[in-house]
Chains A and B, each alone.
Chain A
Amino acid sequence: MKTSRAFMVGGAAAAALTAGWALTPKDSSTSAYASTSDSTDTSSSDSDGTYTGEAVQTRYGVYQVEITVSGGEVTDVTLVQEGETDHESEQIKSVALPELIQEVLDTQSSDVTYVSGASFTSEGFAQSVADAFDQAGL
């Protein structure tokens, strides 16, 4: 697959993508935040244990993470609460409306400058992770 231009510009952009795209939390959490713990250069294991981050309310529900610290390093990050879609704000006025065209899409590789994708959870997730790290003293 041809990578997009935005993906090939090195460290800064790679960080941007990690922050911006909010990979599915379960996939991204361990690697992304394990490396954060490395950079804190914590050698003591006083902070060993399990820490639960603040439960953060987002439009799509409540997010809360739990981190496990062993030997001063984060060894696991799990989501203990995952958001659910809010069905409470669904009323839409009914009006005479334009049309929608239906099609089936396949994944494709293409040369693009940017990728537009959803990432609403990033803030809530990042906040809960930050809180768990604070509690762990990392």
Chain B
Amino acid sequence: MIVSAHAMAMEFTLHVDDSVDKDVLATTMDHVERDLIWVDEVFSTFKEDSCISRIGRGETTVEECPPAVAQVLDMCAEYRDATGGAFDAVRPDGRIDPTGIVKTWAMERVRWRLDSLPVRGWMWGCAGDATVSGQGPDDGRVWRVGIAHPESRFQSVGTVVLGGRRTAIATSGTTIHADHIWPTTDDGARYVQASVVGDDLVACDAWATAIVAGGEKAALAAQEHGLDVLALRLVDGKVLADRSPGWSWAA
């Protein structure tokens, strides 16, 4: 069954097996939703009174905010360095904007709550990113996940399997796809969409963003961090994929 939590103007969905105790599930999801809403109140760049907005206006400091703020900003700095700047939570105008990673960070942050559910396994997803734990509903007790076509999100260009140590997948894309061709340049290929599979949703998310921003070099660098990569280009209406050797398509 699928239940959901609403926060950050998005819907977060939890897939669990039907045997779950409905009361326990409802209580857990209530806590999960409150956690997500708290994260939104602290980190939203769309809310005038969030810590991030107030830091941006110079009205408060990181030290005066909840410790989670320093934790997320440190994490953003680590990913900026690891990706050579392709993932960057500082906007061109100098304001801090960790939006790109806060959602998946918030999802990983409630993992302990989901793991306390009396279920065989779960999948926790939002806006095309997902992480799993335990056993899945599909053949082989895994989760089958489709990779969306860059221009048509209800069609997929392939299927991968999550389970075992491959517990997370994140996909990032550019927002203008139609008639947009990204050629290979001297700097390497540029991509309209990148999916990253690994064992940490935040890392997958940061690297997927980095690959869309930074192209082929980021796609190669992600592999050095133990991640599997699928990066897509559109050429003459065809979807051309660059994938890491470890990326495996499900039948």
Q: Which of B156, B195, B213, B244 contacts A112 (CB 8 A)?
A: B156
Tell me whether A85 and B174 are in contact in the complex, defined as CB-CB below 8 angstroms, given that A15-B11, A98-B245 are known contacts.
Answer: yes
For chain B, residues 90 to 143, give those with C-beta under 8 angstroms from any C-beta of chain A: 91-92, 97, 99-100, 123, 125-130, 136-138, 143
Q: Are B232 and A120 in contact (CB under 8 A)?
A: no
Query: How many residues in B have their beta carbons less than 8 Å from beta carbons of A?
Result: 88
Q: Which residue of B lies closest to A13 (CB)?
A: B2
Q: Are B156 and A107 in contact (CB under 8 A)?
A: yes
B37 CB within 8 Å of chain A: no
Q: Are A115 and B10 in contact (CB under 8 A)?
A: no
- Contact residues in A for B214 (Cβ distance below 8 Å): 89-92
Judged by DSSP, the binding face of A is loop
CA distance A56 to B219 in the complex (A): 28
User: Residues 5-20 of chain A: 1 if any B CB is under 8 Å from the residue's CB, otherwise 0?
Assistant: 0110100110110011
CA distance A98 to B228 in the complex (A): 11
Query: How many residues in A have their beta carbons less than 8 Å from beta carbons of B?
Result: 63
Q: Are A127 and B46 in contact (CB under 8 A)?
A: yes
CA distance A117 to B151 in the complex (A): 10
Q: Are A92 and B92 in contact (CB under 8 A)?
A: no
B41 CB within 8 Å of chain A: no
User: Residues 62-102 of chain A: 1 if any B CB is under 8 Å from the residue's CB, otherwise 0?
Assistant: 00000000000000000000111110111111110111111
CA distance A106 to B237 in the complex (A): 11
Interface residues of B (CB under 8 A from A): 1-4, 8-11, 13, 15, 45-46, 83-88, 91-92, 97, 99-100, 123, 125-130, 136-138, 143-159, 169-178, 187, 193, 195, 209, 212-221, 223-224, 229, 231-232, 238-245, 247
Among all A-B residue pairs, the 5 with the closest Cβ atoms: A118-B173, A117-B148, A97-B220, A92-B217, A100-B242
